[in-house]
Amino acid sequence: MYHKQLVEHIIHKKAQGMLEADIRHELMQDDWSKEDIDLGFHYAQFPERLDHFSLERMLRSEVEASSFIIVLLLAISVSVVTFVYSGTEVTNYNLVAPEMTQSDKRVFTYGVSQALSQPDFFNKVKNQFIESKTTFVEVDLTQMIARVYKDGIPILEVPVKTKGKSGSWWETPAGLYKIETKEKTHYSTIGHVTQPWSMQFQGNFFIHGIPYYEDGTSVSSSFSGGCIRLKNEDAKKIFDIVTINTPILVYEKDFSPDNFSYTETKPNISADSFMYADINNNFVFLKKNETRLVKIGSIAKLMTALVATEYINIEKISKVPKEALVETSVPRLKEGLRIDIYQLLFPLLRESSNESGEAIAMSYGRKQFIKHMNEKAKSIGMTHTTFVDPTGTSDDNVSTVEDMFMLAKYIYNNRSFIFNITSGKVKTSTYGKSIFSDLGWGNSLIHNEYFFGGIADEKDLINQYNLSVFEIKNGSSVRPIFFASFQSKNSKEDITNGLDYLLTRYK
């Protein structure tokens, strides 16, 4: 309700003989602030002052002062669309998955590392060593090649002759290590052999040349105690380059990802275009073809209701013209019926009444009303939306689910009573209850425990539409979640499956 309408409401109630205290109590029940009520009673004494433009009043309400101001506000609102869409609230949704690990750290732990079992860890370490211009040794046990990098640049590549047998007690350990000792000749008390150009990197494991027995006989190339064996001349080259604490990255294909891929199980959604997102922080849980232009059917009535409450005094008595009696879900109006706009909102939003939509638009001037629908869409960031009628009947009423997110965001934050009408939760102390006592429910999700409000067009068995908002408790806060399923074979099932996915996968 505009502040101008608030004043008119007070004048109307006073004319009926209602006491000021009772009027104030009624308005407080409908969540008007004391400041607004005081201001309303002030202007009720001097209604002529509402004809004068007040910047303060203009900013506090949506009173139409002049076409210049309207254009100005539209320009301002378009300029802040990006800000509105991006939002300033930060709420992190954490995907619940047992495979989640801590973030990679820049400080490496030398020795056998569980982190090496992570896909691409080897390449991450190697690339970081290269970027930081580190001198290190890379031993590729799959290709049987050892490489030396000097200041991040490869300067030497030699073949590996022997490694520990896979699966044996002496299998060469993959991991990130460092050179712990250097000896030109090292006598192994385990194998009772001498290892030339020996470089220890992990316990009993070394890089060395061809080992030999006491009589000088070389150890067979088919035997290895797990060390990385090189030709003598190649071992010496590496020995001469490296120093104590030089990193050694020992790599094997077992630690690299293969071509097998897992597919995350997502809900079965039949809609050609959908989007599920948090209204307050714009976190998108699921989406598909969210920018595709599609017809929107009866979802257009949300904009009809929005423009009606922002451009028309909803207490205005309107006479239903014959032209408004179009085909509709449940015929309720008759030619010449005198009814206020407020009462027309109930069948419009509860039963998706086409005749109510037309009656509302014609009471204002149908052509001008549709113009306001399109202006309002652009002003709140619905840049790909076009309305050609107030009912959504024509296929030329088109939008995207991303634009519909902007509409739901605006209604939830500024005109939540529209959603409250769709869910039967609207307060009726000010204007009274609906005169239509047997109204149905146009949204199949009305009985869902989380349902806050929304409208649907689900008559077609293969081409259904549903825009709904749910309020879901998350920790200590309640999150408003937008669900839109367009061009669906079963929009109720789409949204129910999406809601189950959200509740089980996110926290």
DSSP string, 30-81: TT--HHHHHHHHHHHH-GGGGGS--HHHHHHS-----HHHHHHHHHHHHHTH
For residue range 259-301, list pLDDT tens digits in order: 666 666 788 899 999 999 999 989 999 999 999 999 999 999 9
* pLDDT, the chain, mean: 83
DSSP state of 390: S
pLDDT, residue 113, reads 47
Q: Number of folded domains in the chain? A: 3
Distance of CA 213 to the CA centre of its chain: 68
Out of 231, 255, 279, a domain closes at 255
- On whether residue 414 sits in a domain, the answer given is yes
CA distance 462 to 393: 17
Q: What is the DSSP letter of 481?
A: E
pTM, full prediction: 0.58
**CB-CB contact of 211 with 195 (8 Å):** yes
The H or E element containing residue 240 is: helix 232-241
Q: Decide if 383 is inside a domain.
A: yes
> What is the span of the domain harbouring residue 50?
1-61
Statement: residue 188 has pLDDT above 70: yes
User: Residue 273, Cβ neighbours under 10 Å: how many?
Assistant: 22
Q: Is residue 430 part of a domain?
A: yes
Judge if 311 and 386 occupy the same domain. yes
Q: Is residue 81 part of a domain?
A: no
For 105, the 3-state DSSP assignment is coil
Q: What percent of the chain has pLDDT over 90?
A: 50
Residues belonging to the chain: 507
Q: Are 194 and 247 in the same domain?
A: yes
327 plus 442 within the same structural domain: yes
Residue 103 placed within a domain: no
CATH of the domain at 318: 3.40.710.10
> Is residue 226 a part of any domain in this protein?
yes
Pairing of strands 477-488, 273-278: antiparallel
- 250 in Cβ contact with 172 (< 8 Å): yes
Residues 396-407 have pLDDT tens digits of 999 999 999 999
**pLDDT band (50, 70, 90) for residue 369:** very high
Q: In terms of pLDDT, which residue wins out, 90 or 390?
A: 390
User: Do residues 309 and 195 share a domain?
Assistant: no
Q: Is residue 155 part of a domain?
A: yes
C-beta of residue 294 within 8 angstroms of C-beta of residue 400: yes
Structure tokens at 495: 């949204």
Are residues 289 and 235 part of one domain?
no
- Please state, in angstroms and rounded to a whole number, the distance separating the CA atoms of residues 12 and 15: 5
My answer on whether 364 and 436 are in the same domain is yes
Q: Is 260 within the bounds of a domain?
A: no
At 34, is the pLDDT very low, low, confident or very high (cuts 50, 70, 90)? confident
Q: Are 108 and 178 in contact (CB under 8 A)?
A: no
- Map tokens 């039967």 to a residue: 424
List all residues 6 or more positions away from 133 whose beta carbon is below 8 Å from its beta carbon.
Answer: 151, 152
Cα dist. 76→71, 82, 406 in Å? 9, 12, 16
Same domain flag for 289 and 405 = yes
Asked if residue 310 and residue 207 are part of one domain, the reply reads: no
Identify the CA nearest to 393 among candidates 293, 324, 479, 338: 324
Same domain, 202 and 293: no
The alpha carbons of the chain give a radius of gyration, in whole angstroms, of 37
Choose one of 211, 231, 255: the last residue of a domain: 255
Categorize the per-residue pLDDT at 72 as very low, low, confident or very high, splitting at 50, 70 and 90.
Answer: very low
312 & 445 share domain: yes
Q: 334 and 232 share a domain?
A: no
Phi-psi map region of 269: left, alpha, beta (phi>0 left; psi -120 to 50 alpha): beta
Task: Check: CB of residue 479 under 8 Å from CB of residue 472.
Answer: yes
What are the pLDDT digits (tens) for 141-162?
888 999 999 999 999 999 999 9
The verdict on 333 and 370 lying in the same domain is: yes
List the Cα angle 116/118/120 in 5-degree steps. 90
φ, ψ at 196 (rounded to 5°): -75, 150
The residue among 255, 284, 307 that closes a domain is 255
